[in-house]
Amino acid sequence: MLELWSPQVRHGLWRRLWLALAEAERELGVPIPEGALDEMRAHVDDIDFAAVAAYERRFRHDVMAHVHAFGDVAPTARPYIHLGATSAYVTDNGDLIQMRRGLGLLRDKIVAALRALADFAREWRDLPTLGYTHIQPAQLTTVGKRATLWMQDLLLDLRDVDHRMSTLPFRGVKGTTGTQASFLAIFDGDHEKVRELDRRVTAKMEFATSLPVTGQTYTRKLDAQVLDVVSGIAASAAKFASDMRVLQAFGEIEEPFEKEQIGSSAMAYKRNPMRAERINALARFVQSLEPNANQTHAVQFFERTLDDSANRRLAIPESFLAADAILVLLTNVAAGLEVHPARIRRRVDDELPFMATEEIIVRAVRAGGDRQAIHEVIRGHSVEAARAVKDGAPRNDLLERLAGDAGFAALGVSLDDLRLTLDPARFVGRAPRQVDEFLAEEVGPVLAAHALGDAAREEVRV
């Protein structure tokens, strides 16, 4: 990702765009010598940035500095470089190419994260754990099922990435205010040749379509649409990281911690979720840039203004770079999660008698009890049992309290009957099967279609 947003790649794309324009103009009858194109092809990547900087100090114009530097190494092509174009021809089209490639790189890393999370979900598919609503204990789920929720978000992001990559249009060849007047002059008023020029350059740069109309620049709504996808990836990762920070606080699951890693300079015992915290920090940054793109789009008066330029040079690359780092971190954490089943079970046991109360009500009613009266008895004992646990009781004794209640004793519901309700596996519903189905039907095809690439091997550098 760093390479993609480097000056070398950015300005190499400019030269490729100038070459594509000159090739298409020659194909349509502009008398550009083949030797000029050969010179351009020979020098698309050997950019003399010192020469560019010298020209820019003179001209105070980055595109013209690159035009002159390109002309120095392709002198035969000098009269034809940038013929009919405006600066946005290279800057805008280049940005679209970089954004589409950037989405492809993020896609690879989403798949790497899905692969790590799928392994985790499969391993822990049936381990019961407390579910939470309102960050309060709720009915049980499984550790693996919770991981499918994180994966579901990433799959939705993946679909957004694929849609945006497949539909992102090229700016094309549109001229200074989008009217293509300069190209109409080059082709002596031949409108069809101007349209064909746009089609050919678009195809040469490997885009299926170009925007049918533009001002000087492509509509900045495209930036907002792309950064919406990037921001969505960051939000999904932040949800995962937030859950992990809470689970680590509970002591149930912890992010990787290296043998000599130090959690705190003062508190030697600390093991902080610093990777998850870094994901949240970067995600907040990425999400802050998404509305910025819409704000920029909203103030592009008429055919364009220049207050977008400096803003976009920061916002777009930084969004992609930060999202890339987020996904590296997410994959690293997911691949090294440490699960503590004993701690999970202790926390389940603290709440399990409460989870069983619905079934206890049913058993009591079958034994002849009044549902409303039983509910009130259970409510009263539940409040007292919960208070006792909070005040230091070694365990939740709700069942003993109910078994000792005169009303329950009269119904013949024994303590052994009540204890039969406390197998955690009875309370996870279809969670283990949901994990199996989700991995087979949703995640599996994605992983099968995508080879394990370099994204899975990137190192987290603390």
Give tens-digit pLDDT for 388-440: 988 888 888 888 898 888 877 777 777 777 777 788 998 999 999 999 999 99
CA distances from 323 to 85, 92, 114, 234 (A): 33, 22, 15, 6
- 137 - beta bridge partners? 132
- Strand 338-339 versus strand 253-254 pairing type: antiparallel
Predicted TM-score (pTM) of this structure: 0.91
Q: What is the mean pLDDT of residues 327-343?
A: 96
Question: Is the pLDDT higher at 153 or at 456?
Answer: 153
Answer whether residue 296 shows pLDDT above 90. yes
Active site residue: 6, 264, 288, 414, which one? 264
Residue 405: per-residue pLDDT: 86
DSSP 223-290: HHHHHHHHHHHHHHHHHHHHHHHHHHHHTSEE----TT--S-SS-TT----HHHHHHHHHHHHHHHHH
CA nearest to 142, candidates 134, 130, 133: 130
Residue 288: per-residue pLDDT: 97
Catalytic annotation present for 264: yes
Q: What is the spatial distance between Cα 145 and Cα 141, in angstroms, rounded to a whole number?
A: 7
Q: Do 3 and 9 meet the contact criterion of CB atoms below 8 Å apart?
A: yes
Confidence of residue 457 (pLDDT cuts 50, 70, 90): low
**Which domains does the chain possess?**
7-83 (1.10.275.10), 88-121+142-336+436-457 (1.20.200.10), 357-421 (1.10.40.30)
Tokens of 269: 């015992």
Give the CA diameter of the chain: 104
- Render pLDDT for 171-220 as a digit per residue (tens, 0 to 9): 999 999 999 999 999 999 999 999 999 999 999 999 999 999 999 999 99
Residue 421: per-residue pLDDT: 75
Backbone angles phi, psi at 170, to 5 degrees: -85, 150
Tokens of 402: 């109910």
Question: Is the pLDDT higher at 264 or at 429?
Answer: 429
Lowest mean pLDDT among 44-53, 63-72, 339-348, 451-460: 451-460
Residue with tokens 């052994």: 416
Answer whether residue 245 shows pLDDT above 80. yes
Q: What is the spatial distance between Cα 325 and Cα 269, in angstroms, rounded to a whole number?
A: 28
Answer whether residue 442 shows pLDDT above 60. yes
Catalytic annotation present for 265: no
Average pLDDT of the chain to the nearest whole number: 93
Lowest mean pLDDT among 116-120, 308-312, 421-425: 421-425
Q: What is the spatial distance between Cα 70 and Cα 18, in angstroms, rounded to a whole number?
A: 10
Q: Do 157 and 110 meet the contact criterion of CB atoms below 8 Å apart?
A: yes
Q: What is the spatial distance between Cα 172 and Cα 216, in angstroms, rounded to a whole number?
A: 11
